[in-house]
A and B are shown apart, each in its own frame.
Chain A
Amino acid sequence: MLFNSVAFLCFLPIVLIGYYVLPARHRWLWLLLASYVFYAWWKIEYLPLILLSTLVDYTLAIRLVRTKTRWKRRSLLSLSLLINLGLLAIFKYLILFLPDKDPMLLTIYRVDHPLLGILAYGIYFAIPVGISFYTFQTLSYTLDVYHGRVSPEYNLGKFALFVSFFPQLVAGPIERFSHLMPQLRSAVAFRYANFSRAFRLMLFGFFLKICIADNFSGLVDAVYADPRNFDLFSRWLATLGFSFQIYTDFAGYTLVAQGAALCLGVELMDNFRTPYLSTSISEFWKRWHISLSTWFRDYLYLPLGGNRVSRLRWVVNILLVFAISGFWHGANWTFLIWGCIHGGLYLLERFVWGKPGAEAGPIVRFAHGLRTFVLVQVAWVFFRADTTPHAMEHLHLLFASPGPEQLAVKGVWIVLFAAFVLSELWLYRSRFDRAVADWHPLVRWSLYAFLLYAITALGGVANHPFIYFQF
Chain B
Amino acid sequence: MQITGKIGIRVAALLLIGALAQILYKNTLWDTDLWERGQMLIELEGMDDSCKVIYFGESSNFSYHPTRDSLKDRISDFLSYHFNGLTFGTINHAAYHAGLYRALIARIEKGSAVECVVVTMNLRTFGQAVTHSPLETAMQQEKVLFSGYPELLRRTFLTLNFFDNQTELDRDYIKWKEWTFDTLQSTDPEIIFKHPTIRSWCAVEKFPDSNGVEDMEKRSLADHYIKAYAFQIGEDNPRVRDCDAIMRICSDLNIRVVFNILAENVEYADSLVGPELVWLMRQNRDYLVERYSRLGALMVDNLEAVDGYHFTDQNWTTEHYDAEGRQRIAFNVAKAMEKIFSDEIQLRDAADLNGK
Cβ of A52 under 8 Å from chain B: no
Contact across chains for B176 and A192 when beta carbons are under 8 A apart: no
A457 touches which one: B13, B21, B157, B199 (CB < 8 A)?
A: B21
Query: How long is the Cα–Cα vector from A210 to B176 in the complex, in angstroms?
Result: 31
B199–A108 CB distance below 8 A:
yes
Task: Report B1-40 residues with CB < 8 Å from chain A CB.
Answer: 3, 6-7, 13-14, 17-18, 20-21, 24-25, 29, 37
> B351 on the interface (CB 8 Å rule)?
no
Known: A103-B169, A456-B155. A121 touches B161 (CB 8 A): no
With known contacts A108-B179, A452-B21, A456-B152, A103–B159 Cβ distance under 8 A: no
**Per-position 1/0 for B153-166, Cβ under 8 A of A:** 00111111110010
The answer to whether the Cβ of A471 comes within 8 Å of any Cβ in the partner chain is no
A103, B37: Cα distance in complex, Å: 30
**Could you tell me if B141 and A463 are in contact, using CB atoms closer than 8 angstroms?**
yes
Q: Which of A1-9, A291-299, A317-325, A352-360 lies at the binding interface?
A: A1-9
The residue that B152 contacts in the complex, of A107, A108, A125, A457, with Cβ under 8 A, is: A457
Q: Which residues from chain A contact B155 at a C-beta distance below 8 Å?
A: 456-457, 459
Task: Give CA–CA (A2, B170) in the complex, Å.
Answer: 15
Q: Would you list which residues of chain A between 86 and 138 have a CB under 8 Å from chain B?
A: 103-104, 107-109, 112, 117, 121, 124-125
Give the dominant DSSP class at B's interface. Answer: helix
Given contacts A2-B161, A108-B199, is CB(A124)–CB(B21) below 8 Å?
no
Which of A6, A103, A449 lies in contact with B157, CB distance below 8 A? A6
Interface check A453, CB cutoff 8 A: yes
**Chain B contacts with A in 122-161, Cβ cutoff 8 A:** 137, 141, 152, 155-161
Is B199's CB under 8 angstroms from A449's CB? no
Known contacts: A192-B3, A457-B152. The answer to whether A108 contacts B202 by CB under 8 A is: yes
Closest Cβ of chain B: how far from A464's Cβ, in Å? Answer: 9
We find that the number of chain B residues with CB closer than 8 angstroms to chain A is 38
Query: In the complex, are the beta carbons of B161 and A5 less than 8 A apart?
Result: yes
Given A104-B176, A192-B6, also A449-B159 (CB < 8 A): no
The reply to whether A125 and B180 contact each other, CB–CB distance below 8 Å, is: no
Residue of B nearest to A412 (CB): B29
**By CB atoms of chain B within 10 A, which of A2, A192, A448, A453 has the most?**
A453
Known: A109-B203, A456-B152, A463-B141. Contact between A5 and B17, CB under 8 A?
A: no
* B172 proximal to A (CB < 8 A): yes
Say which residue of A5, A109, A412 sits within 8 Å of B202 (CB atoms): A109
| Residues in A whose Cβ lies below 8 Å from that of B199 | 107-108
Is there a chain B Cβ closer than 8 Å to A202's Cβ? no
A90 to B157, CA, bound (A): 37
Contact of A456 among B137, B159, B165 (CB under 8 A): B159
Of A214, A445, A458, A461, which contacts B37 at CB under 8 A? A461
Bound form: Cα–Cα A104–B203 in Å: 12
* CB closest residue in chain B, given A7: B162
Interface flag for B254 (CB, 8 Å):
no
Whether A465 sits at the interface, judged by CB under 8 Å, is yes
Residues in B with CB closer than 8 Å to A448 are: 17
Closest Cβ of chain B to A345, distance in Å, is 34
Contacts of B25 in A (CB 8 A): 453, 456-457
Contact in complex: A463, B165 (CB < 8 Å): yes
B-contacting residues, A387-429, CB 8 Å:
412
How far is B20's CA from A214's CA once the two chains are assembled, in angstroms?
A: 24
Of the residues B14, B159, B165, B172, contact of A459 by C-beta under 8 Å? B159
Contact with B along A433-471 (1 / 0, CB 8 A): 000000000000100110011011111110101000000
Most A-side CB within 10 Å, residue of B13, B17, B159, B165 = B159
Most buried by A among B152, B161, B172: B161
- With the chains together, A439 CA to B279 CA distance in Å? 72
B37 touches A456 (CB 8 A): no
The reply to whether B202 and A463 form a contact with Cβ atoms under 8 Å apart is no
Chain A 1-31 residues near chain B, CB threshold 8 A: 2, 4-6, 9
Q: Which residues of B contact A453 (CB under 8 A)?
A: 17, 21, 24-25
- Tell me, in angstroms, the Cα distance from A121 to B175 when the chains sit together: 12
Contacts of B175 in A (CB 8 A): 104
A-facing residues in B174-200 (Cβ within 8 Å): 175-176, 179-180, 198-199
Could you tell me if A456 and B156 are in contact, using CB atoms closer than 8 angstroms?
yes
> Contacting A452 at CB < 8 Å: which of B18, B203, B223?
B18
Q: Is the CB of B141 within 8 A of A461?
A: yes
Q: Chain B residues near A465 (CB, 8 Å)?
A: 167
A125 touches B159 (CB 8 A): no
Contact indicator A463/B162 (Cβ below 8 Å): no
Is the CB–CB distance between A6 and B169 below 8 Å?
Answer: no
- The reply to whether A455 and B159 form a contact with Cβ atoms under 8 Å apart is yes
Q: With A192-B3, A452-B21, A463-B141 in contact, is A6–B172 under 8 Å at CB?
A: no
Provide the residues of chain A in CB contact with B29, threshold 8 Å: 412, 457-458
A125 CA to B179 CA, complexed, in Å: 14
Q: A453-B25, A457-B25, A461-B141 are in contact. List 17 more A-B contacts (CB 8 A).
A: A2-B161, A4-B160, A9-B160, A103-B169, A103-B176, A104-B175, A108-B202, A112-B203, A124-B172, A125-B173, A192-B3, A192-B7, A452-B18, A457-B24, A457-B155, A459-B156, A459-B158
**Which 6 A-B residue pairings sit nearest by Cβ, starting from the closest?**
A459-B159, A125-B173, A6-B162, A456-B156, A457-B25, A449-B17
List chain A positions with a Cβ less than 8 A from chain B.
Answer: 2, 4-6, 9, 103-104, 107-109, 112, 117, 121, 124-125, 192, 210, 214, 412, 445, 448-449, 452-453, 455-461, 463, 465
Question: Which residues does B use to contact A, with CB under 8 Å?
Answer: 3, 6-7, 13-14, 17-18, 20-21, 24-25, 29, 37, 137, 141, 152, 155-162, 165, 167, 169, 172-173, 175-176, 179-180, 198-199, 202-203, 223
Could you list 13 A-B pairs, sorted by A, with CB under 8 Å?
A6-B162, A108-B223, A109-B203, A109-B223, A112-B203, A452-B14, A452-B21, A455-B159, A456-B18, A457-B24, A460-B159, A463-B165, A463-B167
